[in-house]
Amino acid sequence: MADTDHTRRTFLGLAGGAAVLGTVPVVIVRPVEATPAMLQTAIRNVVGEANVRTGKVKLDIPPLVENGNTVPMTVSVASPMTADDHVKSIHVFNEKNPQPNIGNFHLGPHAGRAQISTRIRLADSQKVVVIARLSDDTFWSATVDIVVTLAACTEEVI
């Protein structure tokens, strides 16, 4: 118990000393203004100049969510997941969050099936885009418009 108290006292003493000297970093909160152009830039960073086709990808996400802090989603891609024909990666993008590329999932033939499930945060009502890269280097996508009644991620701390 004495070692724990000493460690805690040392930490608090150093933290207090830093605060007195003014060396504590200042946190500035400012609103973030994401744009559809940022979404397109994030997508181009992944696919380059390749053509992105619609189809083969299914995005299962509620079209209306009460709380944007935790939105469940599942992405599945029609693929046999063999050595010659499989999904290499799945990328998730959104239109209005501070960071438009919110997930990159790398798969391969040993994954068994081309499916991912996760939860995401959404800053506001917006478009969610999912793009899958197949082993033949083609890109396939699905898009869903989501209505969020209670937003998340509306400010950025720098």
Judge whether 24 lies within some domain.
Answer: no
What's the confidence (pLDDT) of residue 18? 55
- Give 52-85 pLDDT, tens digit per residue: 999 999 999 999 999 999 999 999 999 999 999 9
Judge whether 130 lies within some domain.
Answer: yes
**Residues of the domain holding 149:** 34-157
- Give 2-30 pLDDT, tens digit per residue: 555 567 666 666 666 555 555 555 555 54
Q: Domain count of the chain?
A: 1
Judge whether 105 lies within some domain.
Answer: yes
Judge whether 120 lies within some domain.
Answer: yes
Judge whether 21 lies within some domain.
Answer: no
- Which CATH number characterizes residue 67's domain? 2.60.40.2470
Mean predicted lDDT score pLDDT of the chain: 85
For the CA atoms of 112, 113, 119, 122, the dihedral, rounded to the nearest 10 degrees, stands at 140
Q: Which of 93, 77, 86 is nearest to 45 (CA)?
A: 93
Judge whether 80 lies within some domain.
Answer: yes
User: 70 phi and psi, to 5 degrees?
Assistant: -150, 100
What's the confidence (pLDDT) of residue 98? 86
